[in-house]
Amino acid sequence: MGVIVILIIVSVLVAGGFLLAFIWSVKTGQMEDDYTPSIRILFEEVIKEETK
Amino acid sequence: MLSMPKSSCYHCGADCDANIKIDEKLFCCEGCKMVFQLLDENGLCQYYDLSDMPGIAAKGHFVSEKYNYLDNQTIQDQLIQFKLEGQAHVVFYLPQIHCVSCVWLLENLHKINAGIIQSQTHFEKKEIKIVYNPGLITLKELVQLLSFVGYEPVIHLGGNDWLKKKKVNKKQLFKIGIAGFCFSNIMMLSFPEYLSNDALELGNLRPFFIYLNLLLSLPVLFYSASGFFISAYTGLRQRWLNIDAPIALAIVVTFSRSVYEILTQTGAGYLDSMSGIVFFMLVGRWFQDKSYDSFAFDRDYTSFFPLGVTVLQSDQELNKPLSELQKGELALIKCDEMIPADGILISQSAIVDYSFVSGENAPIEIKQGAMLYAGGIQKGRAIHMEVVKPVGQSYITELWNSPLLKSEKNTEKSFVHPWSQYFTIILFAIAITSGFYWSLHDPHKILPAVTAVLIVACPCSLLLTVTFTYGNVLRWLGKQKLYCKNASVIEAIHKIDTIVFDKTGTLTQQEATQLEYEGAALSKSEMLAIKSVTKESLHPLSQMIAQYFSTKVEGVVEVNHIENILGKGTKAHCGEYDIMIGSVSFLASHGIQREDNYVGSMVCLAINGNFKGVFKITHTYRVGMSNLVASLKNKGYQIHLLSGDHPTEKNNLLKLLGTDIPMKFEQSPEDKLNYIQMLQSQGHRVMMVGDGLNDAGALQKSNVGIAVTDQSHLFTPASDAILEGDEMNQLSALIEYSKKAKLIITLIFSLSICYNIIGMYFATRAQLSPMVAAILMPISSISIVALSALLSFLFSAKIRSKN
């Protein structure tokens, strides 16, 4: 039974990882524009990466 | 490239007959050709492959002096977001962004000018963020480049509100994310509890699950749900029980009872239901608060004025920010620039278009020494004016300081709040009754029963219904090009009984004045003479007449003895003709009587002393206005018309809209405001539909102010909703649809009452197990959301099919 405790802790930690990823994505502004990236992906050339 | 009609411009798609071409590619003007050449040189012709004729017609965007004010340091500091060594960030609003090509070109600007480090567009906000090297390209040059390729930025004072908005949005997303994370984990960890037969089966794992749940519920209670507590508290302090109060109470009761059960080891609590409902409600609020990022609803006058102004100081042209403009200074206003402050005209004459300020249709000629009012647009040559009042005290800006506008609008509480109050009262009645019942029968069950009632029947389903329904309605209206500021606008629309229309720009099309000649037939040589004479004058009406004849006759002839009399007309000798064009009084002063009976704006024409005819100036009304007004009247709305223009169109309007409509002409912005005030004091709820700055006061004062716009959301005064001009004829249907929102909410709310009754059945018997709560909560939430979407869709389909 003890293994379940470990499994559950791991599963919560994994889920927590996704939560952190979400928070990071909001913080870096990835949720601000949900349309332009869909246009940008069609361009053939690579758009310069954000410098900052 | 796809095949395209030969006569359209390769760059912008406009019709062209001129022979401007490069390798079979036709252009409508030199401007478009130059843009093409620039893109071609820099290998950016993919612009033309991504979409057909994507360019923006390059008319008059080359006035480079226009941006001289951008060299001023104070203005630069206002615009530049932050500056590092060799790097500056700036955001511009480019309303012209409309297609894939736009995005592509704007994000490849660095290929045209090495000073641009990187540019990133936001399609929906129509914004571009540019990182550039100020050492290689100045802000002015950057704006000139943008204008050159067709994307002229709209630069105005006070345009940086978006920063604040962004932060609020992020906080809301964090709350949803955390609530979602905690809710899903608590739900997972609760399954063993629900599925096991008794506590023994789980053994010593049970406390582990339960305490983990308790830990996970803390962020939900203290962070995600904090908004409900704050709102409930502020409501209570104002002695007002808003919808958040019973919700906050339910959250607290659920949490306390769960903690009590866990600590006394009597149960697992209702933590999953609690975090679930917080999550759903947050999602609902977020859904309802969908905002139209590219619209500004709260503009005050500062957003209409230019950032900088050119001032003459000891014969030197100097650019300074508008806010630093002093009384007594000499300002230089170039063609198509806005007069920034009230002042006196120093130059000989000016031709000012006040349509935006006063609603007057035709530009006015102003003589030396006369007053110029802020907000007018100079249409002729550059003029000098002496500023007599600083910007903030101008005639038009004073309107904003009017005490009539200070009152908050739509402060009335939503109909949801009284509902939630009744709901809360009934809820307490049930809780007390069941408590009383159990005190007689089994005192141990008082607390379980009372808390269960409060847990089950929180008005969260009401909140969910309202937020999702308004969210859906707002989205659908947005699709029909009516953009509402927020959900309370929809409720305000329900209560409207009077609709006031503005004329210029609202019922008529903006910038669509037509000219038509009526009178004795003119010979070719006469037409040529008239065209040549009118071409000489800068007056817009004169220019329109010249334009009118340019399609009929070719070329020009020499004009002798031309005499322009300000505010009257033109007299000239041309070939064998003596031509007089001007107002009725101008011709009359030369002994010529008019021989027609046209009533309306016009210009008279006489040749060799004989009256020939008139040029009628007519408005183009939007399509379907008379149907719109008829249908609104049918629905029982009172219609009024307010116009800043002269009553020359009155007969047309009576024919178009019916004779039973009160019409007021020559209304100043203040008159309009007072008129709305007067209607409201009679107990009417007024919707104002207008467009210009002259309607701004009325839009603000009215219960619902709708700004009509033609050029994709440029220059709309502060309003509750923005409607695109082409959709004006849909207004009646849109009002009808927004009224359906209340019906949808009522229907769904009755359904949620059924859920509550079921829950209540278990709760009052003190039998509410966490599992029943855990089943009831998601079922009711999800069915409410689904039903709201379904009903909103059905009603919209019904209204669409009607039209």
The residue ranges of DSSP E strands in B28-176, in sequence order, are 80-84, 87-93, 116-122, 127-132
Of B348, B431, B342, give the one whose Cα is nearest residue B393.
B342
Q: Is the pLDDT of residue B588 over 90?
A: no
Q: Is the pLDDT of residue B682 over 80?
A: yes
CB neighbour class for B692 (10 Å; exposed up to 12, middle 13-18, buried from 19): buried
Q: For B511-592, where are the alpha helices, taking DSSP H only? A: 524-536, 540-550, 584-588
Q: Is the pLDDT of residue B748 over 60?
A: yes
Cβ-defined contact of B107 to A47 (cutoff 8 Å): yes
What six digits make up the tokens of B324?
């630093």
Confidence of residue B294 (pLDDT cuts 50, 70, 90): low
Q: Does B81 touch chain A (CB under 8 A)?
A: no
Cβ-defined contact of B100 to A42 (cutoff 8 Å): yes
What six digits make up the tokens of B20?
């401007």
CB neighbour class for B224 (10 Å; exposed up to 12, middle 13-18, buried from 19): buried
Nearest CA in chain B to A29: B170
Please name every residue paired with B621 in a beta bridge, in sequence order, or none if there are none: B508
Residue A26 has its nearest CB partner, among B107, B173, B185, at B173
Q: Does B103 touch chain A (CB under 8 A)?
A: yes
Distance from CA of B106 to the nearest CA of A (A): 11
Q: Is the pLDDT of residue B540 over 80?
A: no
Contacts of A46 in chain B (CB under 8 A): none
Distance from CA of B718 to the nearest CA of A (A): 24
**How much is the pLDDT for B282?**
92
C-alpha–C-alpha distance, residues B720 and B726, integer Å: 18
Contacts of A31 in chain B (CB under 8 A): 169-170, 173
Contacts of B120 in chain A (CB under 8 A): 50
C-alpha–C-alpha distance, residues B790 and B786, integer Å: 6
Q: For B196-270, where are the alpha helices, taking DSSP H only? A: 199-202, 205-219, 226-237, 244-263
Highest mean pLDDT pick, B68-72, B219-223, B404-408, B647-651: B219-223
C-alpha–C-alpha distance, residues B29 and B35, integer Å: 10
Mean pLDDT computed over B360-386: 79
Among positive and negative, which fits the CA dihedral B44, B45, B48, B49? negative
Cβ-defined contact of B170 to A27 (cutoff 8 Å): yes
Structural domain contains residue A27:
yes
φ, ψ of residue B664 in degrees (nearest 5):
-125, 130
Contacts of A34 in chain B (CB under 8 A): 124
**How much is the pLDDT for B229?**
94
**How much is the pLDDT for A18?**
95
Q: Is the pLDDT of residue B3 over 50?
A: no
For B647-681, the DSSP string reads GGGHHHHHHHH-TTS-EE-S--HHHHHHHHHHHHH
Q: Are strands B704-709 and B686-690 parallel, antiparallel or unpaired?
A: parallel
Q: Is the pLDDT of residue B797 over 80?
A: yes
* Count of domains for chain A: 1
Confidence of residue B300 (pLDDT cuts 50, 70, 90): low
The chain A residues in contact with chain B (CB within 8 A) are 1, 4-5, 8, 11-12, 15-16, 18-19, 22-23, 26-27, 31-36, 39-40, 42-45, 47-48, 50-52
Instruction: Identify the residue with better confidence: B264 or B538.
Output: B264
Q: Is the pLDDT of residue B728 over 70?
A: yes
Tell me the per-residue pLDDT of B52-90, one tens digit each, with 9 for 90 and over. 777 776 655 455 667 777 887 777 877 787 787 788 888
Cβ-defined contact of B184 to A15 (cutoff 8 Å): yes
C-alpha–C-alpha distance, residues B763 and B772, integer Å: 10
Mean pLDDT computed over B158-179: 72
Distance from CA of A31 to the nearest CA of B (A): 9
Mean pLDDT computed over B336-343: 81
**Cβ contacts from A onto B, under 8 A:** 72
In sequence order, what are the residues at sequence separation of 6 or more whose Cβ sits closer than 8 angstroms to the Cβ of residue B499?
Answer: B632, B637, B638, B639, B640, B686, B687, B688, B689
Q: Does B333 touch chain A (CB under 8 A)?
A: no
**How much is the pLDDT for A49?**
46
Confidence of residue B157 (pLDDT cuts 50, 70, 90): low
Structural domain contains residue A52:
no
Q: Is the pLDDT of residue B439 over 50?
A: yes
Structural domain contains residue A51:
no
Residue A32 has its nearest CB partner, among B46, B166, B216, at B166
C-alpha–C-alpha distance, residues B223 and B275, integer Å: 11
C-alpha–C-alpha distance, residues B794 and B797, integer Å: 5
CA dihedral B416, B420, B422, B425 (to 10 degrees): -170
**Residue B191 in contact with residue B184, Cβ under 8 Å?**
no
Cβ-defined contact of A31 to B131 (cutoff 8 Å): no
**Residue B460 in contact with residue B698, Cβ under 8 Å?**
no
CATH code, B487-507+623-736: 3.40.50.1000
Structural domain contains residue A17:
yes
- Helix B460-479, helix B770-802: angle, nearest 10: 30
Q: Does B185 touch chain A (CB under 8 A)?
A: yes
Tell me the per-residue pLDDT of A20-48, one tens digit each, with 9 for 90 and over. 999 999 888 888 777 888 888 877 665 44
CB atoms within 10 A of CB B361: 22
Q: Does B202 touch chain A (CB under 8 A)?
A: no
Average pLDDT value for chain B: 81
Give the range of the structural domain holding residue A27, as residue numbers without chain letter: 2-40
Instruction: Identify the residue with better confidence: B481 or B411.
Output: B481
Structural domain contains residue A46:
no
CATH 2.70.150.10 corresponds to the domain B309-398: yes
Residue B104 has its nearest CB partner, among A8, A34, A43, at A43
Cβ-defined contact of B124 to A26 (cutoff 8 Å): no
Cβ-defined contact of B107 to A4 (cutoff 8 Å): no
Q: Is the pLDDT of residue B292 over 70?
A: no
Q: Is the pLDDT of residue B723 over 90?
A: no
Helix (H, G, I), strand (E, B) or coil at B683: coil
3-state secondary structure chain A: CHHHHHHHHHHHHHHHHHHHHHHHHHHCCCCCCCCHHHHHCCCCCCCCCCCC
Cβ-defined contact of B181 to A8 (cutoff 8 Å): no
Residue B177 has its nearest CB partner, among A12, A22, A34, at A22
In sequence order, what are the residues at sequence separation of 6 or more whose Cβ sits closer than 8 angstroms to the Cβ of residue B124?
Answer: A33, A34, A35, A36, B293, B294
**How much is the pLDDT for B152?**
79
**How much is the pLDDT for B500?**
92
Structural domain contains residue A33:
yes
CB neighbour class for B250 (10 Å; exposed up to 12, middle 13-18, buried from 19): buried
C-alpha–C-alpha distance, residues B6 and B500, integer Å: 46
Tell me the per-residue pLDDT of B756-767, one tens digit each, with 9 for 90 and over. 888 888 888 877
C-alpha–C-alpha distance, residues B614 and B599, integer Å: 11
Q: Does B195 touch chain A (CB under 8 A)?
A: no
**How much is the pLDDT for A22?**
94
Q: What percent of chain B has pLDDT over 90?
A: 10
What six digits make up the tokens of B548?
């009118």
Highest mean pLDDT pick, B147-151, B409-413, B679-683: B679-683
Q: Does B208 touch chain A (CB under 8 A)?
A: yes
3-state secondary structure B308-365: EEEEEECCEEEEEEHHHCCCCCEEEECCCCECCCCEEECCCEEEEECHHHHCCCCCEE
**How much is the pLDDT for A51?**
42
CB neighbour class for B597 (10 Å; exposed up to 12, middle 13-18, buried from 19): exposed
Tell me the per-residue pLDDT of B221-279, one tens digit each, with 9 for 90 and over. 999 999 999 988 998 898 877 888 888 988 999 999 999 989 988 888 889 889 998 99
The enclosing H or E element of B615 equals strand B610-621
Cβ-defined contact of A23 to B174 (cutoff 8 Å): yes
Cβ-defined contact of B107 to A50 (cutoff 8 Å): no
* CATH class belonging to B70-160: alpha beta
Distance between the two ends of chain A, CA-based, in angstroms? 49
Q: Does B125 touch chain A (CB under 8 A)?
A: yes
Q: Is the pLDDT of residue B139 over 50?
A: yes
Cβ-defined contact of A15 to B185 (cutoff 8 Å): yes
What six digits make up the tokens of B96?
């012209």
Cβ-defined contact of B100 to A8 (cutoff 8 Å): no
Distance from CA of B271 to the nearest CA of A (A): 17
C-alpha–C-alpha distance, residues B148 and B8, integer Å: 20
Structural domain contains residue A49:
no
C-alpha–C-alpha distance, residues B771 and B271, integer Å: 11
Mean pLDDT computed over B338-353: 83
Cβ-defined contact of B121 to A15 (cutoff 8 Å): no
Contacts of A36 in chain B (CB under 8 A): 103, 121-124
Tell me the per-residue pLDDT of B609-645, one tens digit each, with 9 for 90 and over. 888 888 887 777 888 888 888 899 998 899 999 887 7
**Residue B795 in contact with residue B802, Cβ under 8 Å?**
no
Cβ-defined contact of A32 to B107 (cutoff 8 Å): no
**How much is the pLDDT for B562?**
78
Cβ-defined contact of A33 to B123 (cutoff 8 Å): yes
Q: Is the pLDDT of residue B197 over 70?
A: no
Q: Cα-atom radius of gyration of chain B, to the nearest Å?
A: 33
Highest mean pLDDT pick, B74-88, B198-212, B482-496: B482-496
Domain ranges of chain B: 1-59, 70-160, 163-289, 309-398, 418-486+737-803, 487-507+623-736
Q: Is the pLDDT of residue B4 over 60?
A: no
Mean pLDDT computed over B493-506: 86
Nearest CA in chain B to A26: B170
Q: Is the pLDDT of residue B780 over 80?
A: yes
Which residue out of A28, A36, A44 would a mutagenesis test of the B interface target, given it has the greatest number of B Cβ atoms within 10 Å? Answer: A36
Nearest CA in chain A to B207: A5
**Residue B217 in contact with residue B255, Cβ under 8 Å?**
yes
Instruction: Identify the residue with better confidence: B627 or B297.
Output: B627
